[in-house]
Amino acid sequence: MSVQAASARLAPRADGTPPALVLDGVTKRYGAVVGASALELTAGPGELVTLIGPSGCGKSTTLRLIAGLERPDEGTIRIAGEVVADGRRFQEPERRRVGLVFQDHALFPHLTVAKNVAFGLDGLPRAARRARVGEVLDLVRLGHLAGRYPHELSGGEQQRVALARALAPRPAVVLLDEPFSSLDESLRAQVRRDTVATLRETGTTGVLVTHDQTEALSVGHRVVVMRDGVIEQADVPEKVFEQPATRFVASFMGDADFLPAHVHRALLTCEIGVVSTVPGWGGSDVDVDVVLRPHEVALDPDPGATARVSAVEYHGAFVLHHVRLASGRTLRSWQPHNVRLPVGTAVTVTVAAGTTPTLLIGDTAVTSPPAAATGASG
């Protein structure tokens, strides 16, 4: 498998500032279960990394390792240049420069907003503590609610208190584990925007766990996709979506259909015809699978065509058309909101101009022809 995590590491900054967070070969086992396996991850100062994957893939384990709530079996964790865990050393959570925000906010119900936020500031003199509490409450626009108790706040306000509490001690990294999951849909987008804006405003490095693909792509400077404890891909959102490293990433991060295809003399063809040219593959003659996303698939009603619209789903802004090809395989195509082809319509299927589809050999994306497939013909 081509794991791209290493290639996505940030170069050291010219000013010598160490990365806020480095995981190097970090593995955590729970008996026979591997919670996290050989994780490689670097987050630069101010970077927001989103961590996504199916339930049980190791997202929370990764955050717990960074926070010091779990000990790694192997590997090294550094926070702001300092080793906090390796084969010999283990720094306790309260001594690590991390802030935590969980889905359930975990506020102390018997303490006011101000006291909740002051909780991690024990080390400060009283006046400095009060000043810092005021500062972070202003930052999340909750200064006027300092005297309230958690049950007197809305879900969104509670979430902002949790963020203020996490930021108060000026952590090097804030870890957020599905922080918006308990909020309803309408509130979610606003709280997410506020949270991201606050992290940016304070230049805080964040690792945000989500199970929402759109959230991962829209707020992350970098997206880390995990599966079975392993990082499958770590890259900027555009790369993860447009150049998925594996079949799993292609299908997990957005809708994707797969068709058997063939590259010969730099032409990619499959059941629907020529898909595109593949520069650099002139000498190859090789079977691949092509990944097609619904926004890349164009439909044209044509009584002579063999493909048929098999289902239509109205999504509001777009209408998703399922198309059954002559082989029995199906593709999906996004059409504008005002296009709705009746089920049974015969359609010609093409790939939108300018598409550079991902090619897979087995479960791995390939960008250059395999050595064995070149030179034999052409």
Interface residues toward ligand ADP, by CB under 6 A: 30, 33, 35, 53, 55-61
User: What is the radius of gyration, based on Cα positions, of the chain?
Assistant: 25
Could you tell me the smallest distance in angstroms from the CB atom of residue 246 to Mg ion?
A: 21
The partner in contact with residue 120, picked from ligand ADP, Mg ion, none with C-beta cut-offs of 5 to 8 angstroms by kind, is none
Could you tell me the smallest distance in angstroms from the CB atom of residue 51 to Mg ion?
A: 10
d(CA 167, CA 66): 16
- As a residue count, the chain comes to 378
Determine, following the binding rule CB under 5 A, whether residue 159 of this chain makes contact with Mg ion: no
Could you tell me the smallest distance in angstroms from the CB atom of residue 96 to ligand ADP?
A: 19
Q: At which residue do the structure tokens 């009603």 appear? A: 301
Q: Judged by CB, which is closer to Mg ion: 59, or 227? A: 59
Q: Return left, alpha or beta for 83; rule: phi > 0 is left, psi -120 to 50 is alpha, else beta.
A: beta
From the list 292, 288, 355, the residue with the least C-alpha distance to 322 is 292
Q: Judged by CB, which is closer to ligand ADP: 51, or 114? A: 51
The binding track of 50-69 with respect to Mg ion, each residue x by CB under 5 A or -, is ---------xx---------
- DSSP-derived pairing of the beta strands 205-210 and 222-227: unpaired
DSSP readout, 91-153?
--GGGSSEEEEETT----TTS-HHHHHHGGGTTS-HHHHHHHHHHHHHHTT-GGGTT--GGGS
d(CA 102, CA 119): 16
The partner in contact with residue 45, picked from Mg ion, ligand ADP, none with C-beta cut-offs of 5 to 8 angstroms by kind, is none
The partner in contact with residue 338, picked from Mg ion, ligand ADP, none with C-beta cut-offs of 5 to 8 angstroms by kind, is none
Residue 350, C-beta contacts closer than 8 angstroms, at least 6 positions apart: 272, 273, 297, 298, 300
Q: Judged by CB, which is closer to ligand ADP: 45, or 53? A: 53
Could you tell me the smallest distance in angstroms from the CB atom of residue 5 to ligand ADP?
A: 17
From the list 8, 80, 62, 7, the residue with the least C-alpha distance to 236 is 8
Could you tell me the smallest distance in angstroms from the CB atom of residue 291 to ligand ADP?
A: 24
Could you tell me the smallest distance in angstroms from the CB atom of residue 61 to Mg ion?
A: 8
Residue 219, C-beta contacts closer than 8 angstroms, at least 6 positions apart: 48, 50, 192, 196, 208
The partner in contact with residue 56, picked from Mg ion, ligand ADP, none with C-beta cut-offs of 5 to 8 angstroms by kind, is ligand ADP
The partner in contact with residue 55, picked from ligand ADP, Mg ion, none with C-beta cut-offs of 5 to 8 angstroms by kind, is ligand ADP
The partner in contact with residue 75, picked from Mg ion, ligand ADP, none with C-beta cut-offs of 5 to 8 angstroms by kind, is none
Taking each continuous run of H as one helix and of E as one strand, the counts in the chain are 8, 21
Q: Judged by CB, which is closer to Mg ion: 57, or 163? A: 57
Could you tell me the smallest distance in angstroms from the CB atom of residue 28 to ligand ADP?
A: 8
> Which pair of tokens denotes residue 189?
């987008």
The partner in contact with residue 58, picked from ligand ADP, Mg ion, none with C-beta cut-offs of 5 to 8 angstroms by kind, is ligand ADP
Could you tell me the smallest distance in angstroms from the CB atom of residue 312 to ligand ADP?
A: 34
Amino acid identity of residue 152, one-letter, is E
The partner in contact with residue 61, picked from Mg ion, ligand ADP, none with C-beta cut-offs of 5 to 8 angstroms by kind, is ligand ADP
Q: Judged by CB, which is closer to ligand ADP: 55, or 186? A: 55
d(CA 151, CA 372): 65
Residue 44, C-beta contacts closer than 8 angstroms, at least 6 positions apart: 10, 13, 19, 20, 205
Q: Judged by CB, which is closer to ligand ADP: 212, or 242? A: 212
Q: Judged by CB, which is closer to ligand ADP: 70, or 157? A: 70
Residues that bind Mg ion (CB under 5 A): 59-60
